[in-house]
């Protein structure tokens, strides 16, 4: 079995990881809180998931219907994602003060 290639952790990638850690678990929320555009956030999410740093699942359709919106794909860090984030926080010193905690936590 081939091992998953660890992605290069840029500041934008670290921002996405940190946003997820802080409770911003779906794409639009990550874009809103980080200021990153969708053309940056969604490719990063796909790369991180392919590398095993994120897991995802669709929220319950009934929750989305109750909120009168489409279902969201929710992301969470894996153990490897937590490790990559710890390295990124050490590398990018201002990262830890850049993203507030989600009110949804």
Q: Looking at residue 2, what is its pLDDT?
A: 43
Q: How far apart are alpha carbons 56 and 81 in whole angstroms?
A: 12
Domains of the chain with CATH codes: 11-94 (1.10.10.10)
Q: Looking at residue 8, what is its pLDDT?
A: 87
Q: What is the mean pLDDT of residues 70-87?
A: 96
Residue 103 confidence (pLDDT) above 80? no
Note the pLDDT tens digit of each residue in 44-68. Answer: 999 999 999 999 999 999 999 999 9
Q: How far apart are alpha carbons 9 and 44 in whole angstroms?
A: 10
For residue 90, what are the contacts with CB-CB under 8 A and spacing of at least 6?
none
Are 14 and 88 in contact by the 8 Å Cβ rule? The answer is: yes
* pTM for this prediction: 0.86
């Amino acid at each position: 079995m081939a091992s998953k290639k660890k992605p290069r952790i840029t500041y934008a990638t670290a921002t996405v990881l940190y946003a997820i850690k802080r409770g911003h678990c779906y794409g639009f929320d990550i874009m809103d809180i980080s200021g990153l555009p969708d053309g940056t956030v969604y490719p990063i999410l796909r790369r991180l998931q392919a590398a095993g740093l994120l897991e995802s699942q669709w929220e319950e359709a009934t929750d989305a219907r109750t909120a009168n919106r489409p279902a969201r794909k929710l992301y969470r860090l894996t153990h490897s994602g937590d490790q990559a984030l710890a390295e990124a926080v050490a590398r990018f010193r201002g990262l830890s003060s850049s993203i507030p905690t989600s009110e949804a936590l």
